[in-house]
Chains A and B, each alone.
Chain A
Amino acid sequence: MRALRCLVRKEFLQLRRDTALLRVVFALPIFQLLVLSYALNNDLRNVRVGVLDEDRTVLSRSVLDAFPAADVFVVGPVARDAVELERLLQTGACDLAVHVPAGFERDVLAGRSPAVGISVDGTNSSLAGRGAGYAGTVVMQEATRYAAAAAGAGKTAPRVGAVVRFLYNPELQSRLFMVPGVIVMLVTIISALATGMAVVREKELGTLDQVLVTPLTPLQYVVGKTLPFGLIALVDLALATAFARLWFHVPMLGSPWVLLLGVLAYLLVTLGLGLLASAASNTQQQAMFTVWFFLVFAIMLSGFFFPVDNMPQWAQWMTRVNPMRYFMDIVRGVLLRGAGLADLRGELLTLLGMGVAAFGGAVLAFRREGTRG
């Protein structure tokens, strides 16, 4: 126990002297959280809508009024004819053009399915798809509501095209989704990479040999070496979630204790993998490449950018062995959905199993290291 304390104390002494690393470890997370969350932000906001109303009825007015009410749109220039509307879009005076044709109200009331023309600047593909989809919904909802009211209570409303409904996160607030992802990445990079590098550095310097002739056991060494980085990762997690809450208003709907349980299990995995990478490497470059190679896979297959449900079946299978995917589910679950221990039991147990395997493997690897040629 005394020996372990001594090792941990030494690690902290070295960390304190490494001001460059400290800066990276504590300042960068906040910086990364800020930059990535804004940069990767693809919320629909301030979409300028140009309008042309050829119907000039109560319905056409209420449809166009629904746009600014939707918060996402800003109704900009009003065109006098179709040519002018197209020119507005072309010159960039608006991002999206809504054309309500003459006879729109009449067709809706008659139960026909009239078409409102929605044109969008296709050079911004994300805006094009989602903006047009959302604008279509606004039109359809307004028309349906109007038609239903006109038909009177008790009667079924005529169908007005297909109504796309956004049930959840209608404004698709990507930041709610991105911020927990960035937090997961931070915890992963700091714990796996820093541990891997720190151990290989001892190999490069030859101090590992010097430590191996001491009575320190492989378990003591591995624990002593990872404990400081585990603590740093925990502090980073706390910092990042606090910052996410205060700055981005990302809620924490679930229990912080469940999150703590999740991160402890996850750290067992990442620290263990960092150690395994360092056991397999002789230089810091090798360790870094090894860790990065797996990290890129882990990030891509974690559901950070691309939802797991959208992946082909084989890729979905691969995500099942990806610890980051489970931790991502835990962080998002606890923060955004208020998931509790019962909801996340599967993820937590899986991570715990992976953690015991990775950490146990690392201890064995260092037992071998101690008796290597």
Chain B
Amino acid sequence: MSGEAAVFARGLTRRFGDFTAVESLDLEVAGGEIFGFLGANGAGKTTAIRMLCGLLPPSGGEARVAGCRVGRDTGALKRRIGYMSQRFSLYEDLTVLENLEFFGGVYGLGRAELAARADELLPRLGLDAERGRLTGSLPLGYKQRLSLGCALAHRPRVLFLDEPTGGVDPVARRGFWDLIYEQAAAGVTVFVTTHYMDEAEYCGRVSIMVQGRIVALDTPAGLKARTGGADMQDVFLRLVDA
């Protein structure tokens, strides 16, 4: 397994009728890397992520995630990845702990394992005091941290985050990124999309997608040097408008 990319795609394509949402995507993400997957709305980011998570079969090309072939080893693939969608999607009528137990439990974690995992995750997410609170009554920032916790409960190797910080204040976003760094330091590969260009700076490497294609892929510093942009915002605008 050593040396194999955590996320690998070659020629990955998805068409909906005449429309090509993702066209011949090539990328390689190493284990423990934080990879920023950027692009304007409608550029095909979510479609690409849904394919990599096994939610959507590709129309062409191939991809491997955590050693599983996308579209083939779907069962094993789903066990090895965590996914947090751009829409907040937890059960609002369950408590914090119940949500965590549910999402851990459907991955096959036993009672004792779940309890241990909750004791480990909840303090780290800053949610220990909120265990018994109904999820619907939490502020958005808390809900997002819980979403992350639910995606992490089964110790995935690759974590897909689709706009995880939409709609929260900068302090909450900074806190969320601290959690992402912790995971990457522990060896989890993080594949993240965002619209906040300051967040793009936090990533090891970023790709920028325009109309279904990746137009640039490099470290933030490398991209700035190449495009002459002052910051990632500038880089993004130059590449997307080009």
Interface string of A216-248 (1 = CB under 8 A from B): 100000000000000000000000000000000
Q: Does B89 contact A (CB under 8 A)?
A: yes
Report the minimum CB–CB distance from B100 to chain A (whole Å): 12
Q: When the two chains form their complex, are residues B57 and A205 in contact, meaning their CB atoms are under 8 A apart?
A: no
Report the minimum CB–CB distance from A199 to chain B (whole Å): 14
Q: Does A213 contact B (CB under 8 A)?
A: yes
Interface string of B10-29 (1 = CB under 8 A from A): 00001010000100000000
Q: Does A260 contact B (CB under 8 A)?
A: no
Query: CA separation between A9 and B99, bound complex, in Å?
Result: 11
Chain B residues with CB under 8 Å of chain A are: 14, 16, 21, 47, 50, 53-57, 75, 78-79, 81, 83, 85, 87-94, 98, 101-103, 105-110, 134, 150
Query: CA separation between A203 and B137, bound complex, in Å?
Result: 21
Which residues of chain B have C-beta atoms less than 8 A from A170's C-beta? none
Report the minimum CB–CB distance from A221 to chain B (whole Å): 9
Q: When the two chains form their complex, are residues B75 and A210 in contact, meaning their CB atoms are under 8 A apart?
A: no
Which residues of chain B have C-beta atoms less than 8 A from A373's C-beta? 14, 16, 21, 47, 50, 56
Max chain B Cβ within 10 angstroms of own Cβ: one of A6, A7, A17, A214? A214
Max chain A Cβ within 10 angstroms of own Cβ: one of B21, B47, B93? B93
Which residues of chain A have C-beta atoms less than 8 A from B75's C-beta? 215
Q: When the two chains form their complex, are residues A206 and B93 in contact, meaning their CB atoms are under 8 A apart?
A: no
Report the minimum CB–CB distance from B4 to chain A (whole Å): 22
Which residues of chain B have C-beta atoms less than 8 A from A14's C-beta? 91, 93-94
Q: When the two chains form their complex, are residues A210 and B79 in contact, meaning their CB atoms are under 8 A apart?
A: no
Q: When the two chains form their complex, are residues B56 and A13 in contact, meaning their CB atoms are under 8 A apart?
A: no
Q: When the two chains form their complex, are residues B89 and A206 in contact, meaning their CB atoms are under 8 A apart?
A: yes
Q: When the two chains form their complex, are residues A371 and B107 in contact, meaning their CB atoms are under 8 A apart?
A: no
Which residues of chain B have C-beta atoms less than 8 A from A309's C-beta? none
> 20 A–B contact pairs at CB < 8 A?
A2-B110, A3-B107, A10-B91, A13-B98, A17-B134, A206-B89, A210-B89, A210-B90, A210-B103, A212-B55, A213-B53, A213-B55, A213-B81, A214-B107, A215-B75, A215-B107, A215-B108, A216-B106, A373-B14, A373-B16
Question: Which of B57, B94, B105, B150 contacts A6, CB < 8 Å?
Answer: B105
Query: CA separation between A216 and B57, bound complex, in Å?
Result: 17
- Given that A2-B110, A213-B78, A214-B106 are contacting pairs, would A207 and B54 also be in contact in the complex, using a CB cutoff of 8 Å? no
Query: CA separation between A212 and B88, bound complex, in Å?
Result: 15
- Given that A6-B106, A214-B103 are contacting pairs, would A209 and B93 also be in contact in the complex, using a CB cutoff of 8 Å? no
Q: When the two chains form their complex, are residues A17 and B93 in contact, meaning their CB atoms are under 8 A apart?
A: yes
Query: CA separation between A214 and B76, bound complex, in Å?
Result: 10
Which residues of chain B have C-beta atoms less than 8 A from A205's C-beta? 89, 91-92
Chain A residue at minimal CB-CB distance from B95: A13
Which residues of chain B have C-beta atoms less than 8 A from A10's C-beta? 91, 94, 98, 102
Max chain A Cβ within 10 angstroms of own Cβ: one of B56, B89, B110? B89
- Given that A2-B108, A371-B57 are contacting pairs, would A214 and B89 also be in contact in the complex, using a CB cutoff of 8 Å? no
**Told that A206-B88, A215-B107 touch, could you supply 6 new A-B pairs with CB distance under 8 A?**
A2-B109, A5-B105, A14-B94, A210-B103, A373-B47, A373-B50
Report the minimum CB–CB distance from A10 to chain B (whole Å): 5
Report the minimum CB–CB distance from A342 to chain B (whole Å): 44
Chain B residue at minimal CB-CB distance from A369: B55
Q: When the two chains form their complex, are residues B106 and A18 in contact, meaning their CB atoms are under 8 A apart?
A: no
Q: Does A69 contact B (CB under 8 A)?
A: no
Chain B residue at minimal CB-CB distance from A372: B56
Query: CA separation between A1 and B85, bound complex, in Å?
Result: 26
Q: When the two chains form their complex, are residues B102 and A209 in contact, meaning their CB atoms are under 8 A apart?
A: no
Q: Does A364 contact B (CB under 8 A)?
A: no
Report the minimum CB–CB distance from A181 to chain B (whole Å): 34
Report the minimum CB–CB distance from A353 to chain B (whole Å): 31
- Given that A206-B85, A213-B54, A214-B107 are contacting pairs, would A6 and B102 also be in contact in the complex, using a CB cutoff of 8 Å? yes
Q: Which of A1-44 contact B (CB under 8 A)?
A: 2-3, 5-7, 9-10, 13-14, 17-18
Q: Which of A185-213 contact B (CB under 8 A)?
A: 205-207, 209-213
Query: CA separation between A5 and B134, bound complex, in Å?
Result: 22
Query: CA separation between A164 and B211, bound complex, in Å?
Result: 82
Query: CA separation between A370 and B53, bound complex, in Å?
Result: 11
Report the minimum CB–CB distance from B77 to chain A (whole Å): 9
Q: Which of A130-172 contact B (CB under 8 A)?
A: none
Q: When the two chains form their complex, are residues B91 and A207 in contact, meaning their CB atoms are under 8 A apart?
A: yes
Report the minimum CB–CB distance from B107 to chain A (whole Å): 6
List of 7 A-B pairs having minimum Cβ-Cβ separation, nearest first: A6-B105, A206-B89, A206-B87, A213-B83, A210-B89, A215-B78, A214-B106
Chain B residue at minimal CB-CB distance from A210: B89
Report the minimum CB–CB distance from B70 to chain A (whole Å): 12
Report the minimum CB–CB distance from A371 to chain B (whole Å): 5
Which residues of chain A have C-beta atoms less than 8 A from B79's C-beta? 215
Max chain B Cβ within 10 angstroms of own Cβ: one of A3, A5, A210, A370? A210
Report the minimum CB–CB distance from B74 to chain A (whole Å): 9
